[in-house]
Amino acid sequence: METVDLLAGLGRVLAEGIVADRDFPPFARAARDGYAVRAADLAEVPAQLEVVGEVKAGDWPEPGVCSVGRGQAVGIMTGAPLPAGADAVVMVEHTSAWDQLSGQPAATLVEVLRTVRSGENFVPRGAEARSGQLLLDRGRRLDYASIAIAASVGKSRVQVFPKPRVAVLSTGDEVVDIDATPGPAEIRNSNSYSLAAQVQDAGGEPVRLGIAPDERGRLRALIEEGLRCDLLLLTGGVSMGKYDLVEQVLGELQAEFYFTGAEIQPGRPAVFGSCGARAPSPHRKYFFGLPGNPVSTMVTFELFARPMIEAQAGMAPRPLIFLRACLKAEIRTKTGLKRFLPAVLSGEFENAEVELARWQGSGDIATQARANCYIVIPPDRERIDAGEWVSLLMQ
């Protein structure tokens, strides 16, 4: 458990429940600018009421000093406490104020033009929450709305769970560090960085272990190092190639595999398992072997690794929800695998439209960076027509 300043808690997971320290609102709170009245006085309108005072936000209308009797009204501003005797607020737009003697517009008499119901235009004390009520659960990830709640109950510091440490290991003889000048057949290690960014976004602490060559000894040493973290993410080396050694090396380390391969594209070769199966569960170390193609790495992270990191971060499980949007242009594809294809979501207000980004396959990060979501295509669909509604995985 850690205690952090409230704003430093953004994106962290609460290790404590947050409880209302008083009623919300703490007093019957005017929701409009106008006059606090007794609704029964306005059974017939227009009606004239005597203005006997004014309460602005921050004022406390002491009963006996400032209250509303029969035929009376008190000027009131949004956010101010409702004086005793009143049971409604009439909006200033529905009144006109007149001076009793001169007949000039002033503040001693108010003419009310519309009726109000008892209870209208104010929020009763405790209507939003009662003192002692749980407002945020332990396990809630702090977003701006929950920061507002914590602030409103005076929590300037909050208790959060520690972030899980997530090792990120790229593999491949062709992969070089981003500061190196790549040789003609080499490519820079973008996956370690995209994965580290995704880990951070999911609430984990990335630990980049660099690049393992396609060579057993070095790969094994780095995997063993990675298994000291809470979770290990590997990219590359899980396909069917002669030099795809990740599964073999994990096998040497007595890994237990929960799945080897998924019926999805991109991302089919992804594997998930743990080492130290006989150890009690906090000592068991989980890993994902994600395919090396950059878009495959990103998609499989979202589908499989993100929920795991969220669970390790102490977050309550939440369902994977696919939003839906209207397809702009027909899609033709092959059946057999569930597909996650980079796409561009556009449109305005309630008219969400989406179309595929034209990509060169799961290595094409240039197109993927222009996309902002993935269209999810069920495995049995060969063709989806323009105008159909499709599911989206947001980027």
Q: Which residues bind ligand AMP (CB under 6 A)?
A: 170, 172, 174-175, 187, 189-192, 235-237, 239, 241, 291-294, 363
- Pick between residue 75 and residue 237 the one whose CB is nearest to ligand AMP: 237
Q: 204 or 294, CB closer to ligand AMP?
A: 294
Q: How far is the CB of 121 from ligand AMP (least distance, A)?
A: 60
Q: Which does residue 235 bind out of Mg ion, ligand AMP, none, counting CB within 5 to 8 angstroms by kind?
A: ligand AMP
Q: Which partner, Mg ion, ligand AMP, none, binds residue 363 by CB below 5 to 8 Å per kind?
A: ligand AMP
The CB-of-308 to Mg ion minimum distance in angstroms stands at 23
Task: Kindly state the smallest distance separating residue 214's Cβ from Mg ion, in Å.
Answer: 6
Rounded (5°) CA angle 304-308-309: 115
Q: Which residue's CB is nearer to Mg ion, number 112 or number 250? A: 250
Is the CB of 35 or the CB of 304 nearer to ligand AMP? 304
- By C-beta, is 175 or 390 nearer to Mg ion? 175
Binding partner of residue 291 among ligand AMP, Mg ion, none, CB cut-off 5 to 8 Å per kind: ligand AMP
Q: With CB cut-offs between 5 and 8 Å by kind, which of ligand AMP, Mg ion, none does residue 294 bind?
A: ligand AMP
What gap in Å lies between CA 140 and CA 142, rounded to an integer? Answer: 6
Closest CB to Mg ion among 198 and 235?
A: 235
Shortest reach from residue 242's CB to ligand AMP, in Å: 11
- Summarize as ranges the residues that interact with Mg ion (CB under 5 A): 172, 236-237, 292
**CB nearer to ligand AMP: pick between 83 and 291:** 291
Among Mg ion, ligand AMP, none, the one that 187 touches (CB under a kind-dependent 5 to 8 A) is ligand AMP
Residue 296 CB, nearest approach to ligand AMP (Å)? 8
Q: Which does 175 bind (CB under 5 to 8 A by kind): Mg ion, ligand AMP, none?
A: ligand AMP
